[in-house]
Structure 1
Amino acid sequence: MIIRPVLFSFLLLLSSLGASHTYADDSMMFSELTFPDLEGRDVSMTEFRGKVVLLNFWATWCPPCVKEMPSMEKLRQKYAGQDFEVVAINAGEDSESVEAFLLERDITFPILLDIRGASFMTLGIRGLPMSFLLNKEGRSVMTFLGERDWLEPAQTKLIEAELAN
């Protein structure tokens, strides 16, 4: 019967798609990430080792991404002076577009550029915004898909737990 091979192929495809998302849990993938900042300087995620990092993937055309940015800025300010950093990686846009967007906003955390969208394949980014909470060793301890208010107690408790480690 032809249905069985087709069903098997479909299940195999589904399992291989799911496997691509396991990279997000591999600290080596995060430590190997290097993206240019708005000035064109290559920034490696190893520069943030020893800090808890909220790593956010976003775009200027993404309304939920734009909406959560002020709470990310306030989160950065809340934990200023501690081993914490917010790093936002723009997916698929050039520096001119991102700089024009940022002129209208008071954002102080590092903004990096993934102009070719390589992180989608490498990390299994499924949509925007998508964020990863990285511990001080650079390992992902939590993945967030969709917009968040980063000052909500559920989010801050996770960050504070990692800062205490």
Structure 2
Amino acid sequence: MSNATVPLTRRSVIALGAGAALPALAQESKGFLRRPWPKGQATPPLDLPGYDGPRWKLGDAHGKLVLLNFWATWCEPCRDEMPTLELLATLYEKQGLVIMAVNQRETDAAIKRFMDQMPISLPILRDADGLTSRAWGARAFPTSVVVGRDGQARFTVVGQVDWNGPEARQWIATLL
């Protein structure tokens, strides 16, 4: 589908008003919107309990590239994206990539049902009250934030991405 035939969505209209029309429309046609982390905005802290593992803090991964994927079990694009995140984690783990799946405001029972249907090996963190997701700007799902080896957020991707496609792999390879 060419950009000329992409229907204008609310996000596209907002992007037009913000002067970011062409990049936003081009990415919107792919189903996601990638944007740099806002200049001058500090990287929020992250300290969450694991679903069936230990508590995890962003500081624990200092020196590694971190991809935080904010998701929910009811979100179909999140479910579709999960296998590509899992493969990306496997491919780049030895180079220092850490992927954490941050589940937003769901119960252990909901996560267990999801895991029974789609077993994944990515570590799952529980954002039970949604405050961490909000602090990281995750207002739509899926939202991913990539944090550099220095602990500073680099960019956000809103929407479903094929994390094994050439574009997404380039984003990661550049920071590794």
Q: Tell me if both proteins adopt one fold, taking TM over 0.5 as the criterion.
A: yes
CA distance in 1: counterparts of 2:38 and 2:175, whole angstroms: 21
Aligned AA (1:67): D
1:76 aligned residue: 89
How many residue pairs align between the two structures? 140
Q: 1:116 aligns with which of 118, 129, 136?
A: 129
Q: 1:86 to 1:120 in 2, by over 3 A?
A: closer
CA distance in 2: counterparts of 1:42 and 1:129, whole angstroms: 22
CA distance in 2: counterparts of 1:123 and 1:76, whole angstroms: 21
Superposition RMSD on alpha carbons, in Å?
2.0
Bigger drift between 63-72 and 92-101 goes to 92-101
TM-score under structure 2 length normalisation:
0.73
The 5 Å alignment of 1:17-56 reads 22=38, 25-27=41-43, 29=44, 32-39=45-52, 41-56=54-69
Report % sequence identity. Answer: 33
Aligned AA (2:137): G
Larger helix share, 1 or 2 = 1
1:94 aligned residue: 107
Is there any run of 5+ residues in structure 2 with no aligned partner, and where?
1-36
CA distance in 2: counterparts of 1:128 and 1:86, whole angstroms: 16
* Larger gyration radius, structure 1 or structure 2: 1
Does residue 106 of structure 1 match 2:119?
yes
Is there any run of 5+ residues in structure 1 with no aligned partner, and where?
1-20
Q: Is the contact made by 1:24 and 1:123 (CA closer than 8 Å) also made in structure 2?
A: no
Does residue 160 of structure 1 match 2:176?
no
Q: Is the contact made by 1:23 and 1:123 (CA closer than 8 Å) also made in structure 2?
A: no
Shift of 1:50: 1.1
Deviations 1:78-117 (A, max 9, x none): 1131201111100010122112211222311210000111
TM-score under structure 1 length normalisation:
0.78
Q: 1:125 to 1:24 in 2, by over 3 A?
A: farther
Aligned AA (2:172): I
CA distance in 2: counterparts of 1:161 and 1:155, whole angstroms: 10
